[in-house]
Structure 1
Amino acid sequence: MSTKFDITETLDVTGLNCPMPVVKTKQATDELTEGDVLEVVATDSGSMSDLKGWANTTDGVELLEQQEGEDGGEAVYRHFVRKTE
Structure 2
Amino acid sequence: MSAEFDITETLDVKGASCPMPVVKTKSAIDDLAEGAVLEVVATDPGSVSDIDGWAAGTKGVELVDQEEGDDVYRHYVRKTE
Give the structure-2-normalised TM-score: 0.97
1:4 deviation in Å?
1.9
Distance 2:3 2:68 in 1: 13
Root-mean-square deviation over aligned CA pairs: 0.9
1:3 deviation in Å?
2.8
Alignment match, 2:63: 63
SS at match of 1:49: helix
1:56 deviation in Å?
0.2
Distance 1:68 1:3 in 2: 16
State yes or no: 1:84 paired with 2:80.
yes
Give the structure-1-normalised TM-score: 0.92
Which runs of no fewer than 5 residues in structure 1 stay unpaired? none
1:35 deviation in Å?
0.2
- Partner amino acid for 1:30? D
Matches within 5 A, 1:28-39: 28-39=28-39
In the alignment of these two chains, the number of paired residues is 81
SS at match of 1:41: strand
1:81 deviation in Å?
0.2
